[in-house]
Chains A and B, each alone.
Chain A
Amino acid sequence: ETGVTQTPRHLVMGMTNKKSLKCEQHLGHNAMYWYKQSAKKPLELMFVYSLEERVENNSVPSRFSPECPNSSHLFLHLHTLQPEDSALYLCASSHRHNDSPLHFGNGTRLTVT
């Protein structure tokens, strides 16, 4: 149990589908993150929500849309994805304003067909 729960664990979707990834943290942290993990590449930061304010990586395509309704829940809405978007999507949380590590969930393995 990591304290960060992601659902679903696996998702297969077509390029015209709309789906959402969900993340919930039980650690009392004040920041939540979406990362993309592709084979043989470093973790790529997509979005950060700190105290419910969004900070984003400007290179993330608009077909990815985050939502953070409160400090414990984070969503990633997916729309019109491409096959190259297939990857492991990791949610993490942390105490934003301290030297503290990110705590990750087990990820959603996304396959776009």
Chain B
Amino acid sequence: GESVGLHLPTLSVQEGDNSIINCAYSNSASDYFIWYKQESGKGPQFIIDIRSNMDKRQGQRVTVLLNKTVKHLSLQIAATQPGDSAVYFCADSTGNQFYFGTGTSLTVIP
């Protein structure tokens, strides 16, 4: 079956530093990838997505990198702020099936 995993369950970064959160997926047929942010007491919130015909996509303070060769996805957050503290998880999709990772808890140290 599909396996989507995050490399580290927790990550602590100093405010102002850049954060990198990693994810590995196993299905080479996956063609669409999404990063979500989930704050305490809330549902997952869409951050950024990328299709398999791209290897990089940038948003506001966030960048997603896709390496299809090693089936690896990363989320980079620039100038991390206290409001970025949350659980981040990736999802990949084949057709209309979504597969989710278990999440990395990001803590921003003031």
Tell me if A104 and B43 are in contact (CB < 8 A). yes
Main secondary structure of the interface of B (DSSP, over half): strand
| Chain B 15-40 per-residue mask, 1 if CB under 8 angstroms from chain A, else 0 | 00000000000000001101010000
Number of A-B contacts (CB under 8 A): 48
Main secondary structure of the interface of A (DSSP, over half): loop
Tell me if B42 and A106 are in contact (CB < 8 A). yes
A69 CB-CB contact with B under 8 Å: no
Complex Cα gap A106–B34 (Å): 18
Chain B interface, number of residues (Cβ within 8 angstroms): 22
Within 8 A of B (CB), among A1-16: 2, 4, 6
- Known A-B contacts A2-B43, A104-B43, A106-B41; the reply to A96 vs B96 at CB < 8 A is yes
- Using A42-B4, A99-B32, A106-B42 as known contacts, list a sample of 8 further A-B pairs with CB atoms less than 8 Å apart, ordered by residue number in A: A42-B89, A42-B99, A42-B102, A96-B96, A97-B96, A99-B93, A101-B46, A102-B46
CB-based closest 9 A-B pairs: A104-B43, A43-B100, A42-B100, A99-B32, A106-B43, A101-B46, A104-B44, A101-B34, A107-B43
